[in-house]
Amino acid sequence: MNLKRLVIFCLMVHFVYTGFSQVKQTEGQEPFPFSVHSLKNGLTVILSRDDNLPLVTVVCAYKVGSAYEKKGEAGMAHLLENLMFMGSRNVGPMQHIRFIHRIGGEFNAVTSWDRTLYYQTVSSNQLPLVLWLESDRMNSLNLEYSTVEETKNLLIETLKNQNKEDPFRESMLVFDRLLYPDFAYNHPIIGSEEDLKSITVKDVRNFYNTYYKPNNAVLCITGNIDEEDTLNLVRKYFSTIDPSKNVPPAPSFKGDFTQEKQEQISINEAITTPGFRLGYRIGSPYSNDFYILSMIDYLLFSGESSRLYKRLVKRNKLALSIGGGIEKRKDLAAFKIFVLSNNEATKEIAKKALFSEINRLKSYLIPDRELIKIKNMYKSDYMENFYSPEKRALFLTQYYLSGNDIRDLRGELNKYLRINSSEIIGIMNRYFTENHVLVEMRGK
Amino acid sequence: MKTPMRPGKICVCVLLGLFIISFMTPYVSAQEKFRKTPPLPYPLPDLNFPSLESFILSNGLQVSVVQRKPQPFIDIHLIILTGESLSPDDLPGLASFTANMLFKGAVGLSASQIEEQIEYIGGDFSVSTYPDYSVFSITCLKDYLNDAVKLLGQILTQADFPKIEVNNVKRDMFYNIARNTNPELLGRKLLFQILFHNHPYQKYVFNSSVIKRLNRKDLLTFFDKFYIPNNARLLIIGDVDLSEVTNITGKHLGQWEKKNVETYHINPPAPKTKPKICFTDLPGADETTLFIGYVLPRDKTGNYFSYLVFNQIIGGSHISRLIMNLRETKGYAYWAFSGIELFGNCGLFSVKAKVKTEYLYPSVKEILKEIRSLTMNKIPNHEIEQAKSYLIGNFPIQISGHKEFSLKVSEIVALDMENIFWKNYYENIMYVNSSAVFKAFQNVRLLNPVIVIVGDKDVVLDHIKEFEEVEIYDNEGIFQYKLKKVIENDST
């Protein structure tokens, strides 16, 4: 054991036994009341009451996303997300949106690698309407040839515009292909033009009939609700929808995610400010390491006093902008960093400064005050999730879909607040290694 | 090779088919009755805001508290009741400059240390300047209320405006203006400039050349004159009680020195006597952005809610008249919306739209036609009811986050709107009917609009020839020249 390692080991032992934190913990408390229910057809229902305002948010989420797509059908999950607004048996095309608009409600939908969420916030007296709308499209989506083709063409146009308007998009695709191991994890959610063109109505119907079923969904309702009445409404609208007999198991990565170092250059004529993308593969988002990695994310990026912003942007003016953090893709996660610089020379210096900041965190304990600061910032952002019906509903849904036992939510925040400086050093040395992925972005 | 089917076999197949279909039909088409039509809503729930409790410190600072439990954050807003309209005439932007400098240093504290202190308490910070006031907002975890107010007190009583930060803030302000190529921001800025020409509110928008003239001396004069407790309001929202706030504010802000405050009266702007059309060039802009604006009188009575309903009908949402007409029916525009803003002495009604450049002229005509139609005729009841339903459903969504809620309260406090906004919002909306909207616009004739067009000159010029007269501005808002419609003589 060399001297540096010995020092680190001693410090780790010290802090494991003494520990410190001036951030108040809320041991074992529920951050807010919620309950979980299950219908006979397998639909999971999460309810949480919040009477601050006369509002209700309904999230209907399906356990399917781009990682579930087969080769040749990249973009299917996102295509279906769009088709969910194109009408069902009792609701005409785009009528879902119009119903919500007419009552002053707001809606959105999002597809990620392993889930697709539909959510709307309305005045709480309109809850029956939202459940009627959501149940109709879960029960009987209209998937006609013309609608599917029209939606595909619209998405292909969007894809073309993205390529035209974002000079950094190509570098992002290259970066993801190097960082993540296979098609399921590294293809873009919007898909590819070629695949979108080749997807047929039959393919879409199969995808819908396989995954858009109550036993592959979760319904979360938060806000100014009466729990019993809400459960009765949910039973009325959803309990007679047939479950899927066979939902395929979720894809999971079996290989070794920590591959060797990879570096590449991505050139795009439209790039006027050079930069680079740096990525570290950090393994499973479900391990205990993840709590410490989240603190490292805050240490490096959160706020104007964060380490990278202070060093690269404010003090040394090496970067025009800097961003990044942890990205979770189903059962894998990566730590991504994105830096834009004025010119090639400052970019190179910025890169060195960045590596020096990372190396500093591998060897030196962070000061107590800085640790308290990032914990307070984390606590503040974490709690922000509870204080509107929409944020709370999304938070509960995401937590449930992450595969966690939702009862663990009670003590979850404390897992972040208990972290000490020596654990940060340990994790930095484990994951922030030479085996990174680096993509340089240049104009011509 | 396929063998032809015998007639008997065909009959059996047909009968079997019919049998299967008749058996399956009820299962294929049957559905519960309740699925066929949308359900009725429950009765409208109450919208109850917590009360606003206030007290005044001995130095004249009015402190207002809104208790919201349980909430782990405290939102603190310091409102200085002087905005850009009281910047000197030759130094528009001084109010914004002063506000942007406030958290950039105090005796013994650098700008970075202040940032770090706010982040240490799990907080964040923002500054906004409007024509009538500036607001400084701090959010922090509730355990740190004392630290946040202490820091605020330290900054207000010991601000030292370091020279290096003067230069940094001026540089940021300069680049924010000079590099602004956002057509919506450019259009709004020019609209404001033209609508409030020769009125103190015009100073709310300023160009980058002004930034060079801003200096520390003028800043100190402005700060000494207006940043005084008897020209300010402090608003604290969260899980706090009045006695706790009384102790903390007295301790940390009681030393803030009271001074004489001059009273300024700003008259409402004079109504426009003729329409005005202005164009600003944005090279490379894909499409054309359009603004149409009118000044409204500041209404402290129920007319405000009639304006809201009117706005909702014409362009408040994705199902309002403008978007249905310009985008869905005629295909002229990508989007078209309208909005109402309130200031201390007047209001602003404006429409903004992104239109296909070849349909610029007909788009303007259609928008003006819609406005005229809605103000000259009584609006059908079903449209009024639809708009009210939207407003009642949407208002609580707009304030559902704690920051959005507290910013709304700060606006209410700063513009003295407590009576019309805080109490009975739903009831005030519900009282609006077709006659009330019609009556409200009998007094407010929307006759002489200011129209601002932002787009690429090379593309747009061909399409603005239809207008009688267009004033051309650069994208800093400096007047360049006028274009007049050429009337071709028919020489035959």
Q: How many CB atoms lie within 10 A of CB A17?
A: 7
Our CA dihedral for B158, B164, B169, B170, rounded to 10 degrees, sits at 120
B229: cis peptide before it, omega within 30°? no
Q: How far is B337 from chain A (nearest CA, A)?
A: 14
The residues of chain B that CATH labels 3.30.830.10 are 52-253, 276-484
Contact, A88 vs A142, CB < 8 A?
yes
> How far is the CA of B126 from the CAs of A313, A382, B168, in angstroms?
19, 20, 17
Question: Which of helix, strand or coil describes residue B328?
Answer: helix
Q: Is the pLDDT of residue A219 over 50?
A: yes
Name the closest residue on chain A to residue B318, using Cα atoms. Answer: A101
pLDDT at residue A7 is higher than 50: no
Q: Which residues of A touch B112 (CB under 8 A)?
A: 304-305, 310, 314
**pLDDT tier, A165 (very low <50, low <70, confident <90, very high otherwise):** confident
Q: Which residues 6+ apart lie within 8 Å of B256 measured at CB?
A: B59, B61, B153, B156, B157, B228, B229
The shortest CB-CB distance from A128 to any of B39, B119, B400 is to B39
Contacting residues of A for B68, CB less than 8 Å apart: 52
- Nearest CA-CA distance, residue A424 and chain B, Å: 19
pLDDT at A2 over 60: no
Contact B120, A369 (CB under 8 A): yes
With residues binned 3-state (H G I as helix, E B as strand, rest as coil), the percentages for chain A, rounded to 5, are: 50, 20, 35
Chain A neighbors of B394, CB-CB under 8 A: 104-106
Taking CB atoms and an 8 Å limit, are A379 and B40 in contact across chains? no
Answer for the pair B162, B103: CB distance below 8 angstroms, yes or no: no
Of the listed ranges B21-35, B213-227, B316-330, the one predicted with least confidence: B21-35
Alpha-carbon separation of residue A12 from A357, A429, B476 (angstroms) = 20, 13, 59
Percent of chain A with pLDDT over 70: 93
CB contact B168 to A (< 8 Å): no
Q: Looking at residue B21, what is its pLDDT? A: 45
Q: What is the pLDDT of residues B461-490, one digit of tens each?
A: 889 988 999 999 998 889 999 998 876 554
Residue B272 is predicted with a pLDDT of 86
* Residue A71: Cβ within 10 Å count: 10
Per-residue pLDDT at A32 = 85
B35 touches chain A (CB under 8 A): yes
User: Which of B37, B73, B393 has its CB closest to that of A122?
Assistant: B393
Q: Which of B41, B72, B112 sits opposite A305 (nearest CB)?
A: B112
Buried b (16+ CB within 10 A) or exposed e, B330-359: eebbeebbbebebbbbbbbbbbbbbbbbeb
Q: Is the predicted pLDDT of residue A359 greater than 70, yes or no?
A: yes
B115 contacts A305? CB cut-off 8 A: yes
CB nearest to B38's CB, from A129, A236, A383: A129
Q: Calculate how close chain A gets to B188, using CA atoms only, in Å.
A: 24
Reported as a single tens digit per residue, the pLDDT across A46-64 is: 999 999 999 999 999 999 9
Domain A35-238, CATH: 3.30.830.10
Q: How confident is the model at residue A246 (pLDDT cuts 50, 70, 90)?
A: confident
Q: Which residues pair with B79 in a beta bridge?
A: B135, B233
Local confidence band at A28 (pLDDT 50, 70, 90 cut-offs): very low
- Tell me the residue type at B478: I
pLDDT (0 to 100) of residue B320: 95
- Phi first, then psi: what are they for A46, rounded to 5°? -115, 130
> pLDDT digit string (tens) for A304-316?
999 999 999 988 8
Is the CB of B47 less than 8 angstroms away from the CB of A305?
no
Residue B178 pLDDT grade (very low, low, confident, very high; cuts 50, 70, 90): confident
Label residue B50 by pLDDT band (50, 70, 90). confident
Three-class SS state of A356 = helix
Lowest mean per-residue pLDDT among B23-37, B245-259, B358-372 = B23-37
A21-35, B85-99, B258-272: the lowest-pLDDT one: A21-35
User: Is some CB atom of chain A closer than 8 A to the CB atom of B43?
Assistant: yes
Contact list, A390 vs chain B (CB under 8 Å): 400
- For domain A15-23+253-442, is the CATH number 3.30.830.10? yes
DSSP class of B33: G
Write the residue in A24, A98, A388 that is nearest to B319 by C-beta.
A98
- Interface contact flag, B120 A104, Cβ < 8 Å: no
The rounded mean pLDDT for chain B is 90
Of the residues A370, A380, A413, the best mutation for testing chain B's interface (the one with the most B CB atoms within 10 Å of its CB) is A380
Chain B residues near residue A124 by CB distance under 8 angstroms: 42, 45
- Per-residue model confidence (pLDDT) at position B300: 62
CATH 3.30.830.10 residue ranges for chain A: 15-23+253-442, 35-238
Rounded to the nearest angstrom, the minimum Cα separation between B116 and chain A is 6
Closest Cα of chain A to B58: distance in Å? 34
| Residue A7 or B304, more confident | B304
Judged against a pLDDT cut of 90, whether residue A269 lies above it is answered with no
Q: Which of A126, A229, A321 to mutate to test the interface with B (most CBs of B within 10 A)?
A: A126
Mean pLDDT to the nearest integer, A288-297: 94
Query: Architecture of B52-253 per CATH?
Result: 2-Layer Sandwich (3.30)
pLDDT given for residue B263 in this prediction:
85
**Band of the pLDDT at B27, cuts 50, 70, 90?**
very low
DSSP states of A4-18: HHHHHHHHHHHHHHH
The answer to whether the CB of A159 falls within 8 A of the CB of A189 is no
Residues 6 or more apart whose CB falls under 8 angstroms from that of B278 comprise B190, B194, B450, B451, B452, B453, B470, B471, B472, B473
**With 80 as the cut, is the pLDDT of residue A135 above it?**
yes
Asked if A240 lies within 8 A of B32 by C-beta distance, the reply is: yes
Look up the CATH number of domain B276-484.
Answer: 3.30.830.10
CA A440 – CA B400 distance, rounded (Å): 42
* Residue numbers in B near A379 (CB within 8 A): 72, 122, 141
Handedness of CA A234, A240, A241, A243 (dihedral sign): positive
Please state the rounded mean pLDDT for residues B172-185.
91
Q: Which of A85, A370, A376 to mutate to test the interface with B (most CBs of B within 10 A)?
A: A376
Looking at residue A410, its pLDDT comes to 83
Q: What is the pLDDT of residue A122?
A: 98
pLDDT per residue as tens digits for the range B365-405? 999 999 999 988 899 999 999 999 999 999 999 999 999 99
User: A377: distance to nearest CA of chain B, Å?
Assistant: 4
